[in-house]
Amino acid sequence: MRKILLTTATALMVGMFAGPAAAESITGEVIDLSCYLSHPHTSVGASHRKCAETCAKKGLPMGILTEAGKAYVLLEDHANPQAYAEAIGNAAKTITVEGKTVNEGGLAGVVVESVD
């Protein structure tokens, strides 16, 4: 029991001193994830813009695909929804977003705080 309490206390103290996650810059093409996941080679670039814009307007999930091939789900910062709206409004265009990256259950995402 003593070992459990000591371990819990140590974990809480470490958490108290850990700062908030730093914002990262991610540059890539804004993609509609519905099309990208089902046919990745034909759902990128300017030729797919109209479809990506339609998917964004339907509220389908959007992402950002880096030049290195890593895809992030774009997530709305509830305190700043305008940045997310600006990001998804750039379907099939290359943009840079600033935000906290998150990983859960094998998914990578970025909480969009600003768009450059």
Q: Kindly report the pTM of this predicted structure.
A: 0.80
**How many residues are listed for the chain in this entry?**
116
CA–CA gap between residue 37 and residue 5 (Å, rounded): 45
Percentage of the chain beyond pLDDT 90 is 78
- Per-residue pLDDT tens for 68-92? 999 999 999 999 999 999 999 999 9
All structural domains of the chain: 21-115 (2.40.50)
pLDDT at 18 over 50: no
| Identity of the residue numbered 53 | E
Q: Which of 69, 64, 67 is nearest to 52 (CA)?
A: 64
Instruction: Name every residue whose Cβ is closer than 8 Å to that of residue 56 and which is 6 or more positions away in sequence.
Output: 32, 62, 88, 89, 91
User: Alpha carbon of 25 to those of 75, 104, 110, 115: distances in Å?
Assistant: 14, 19, 10, 9
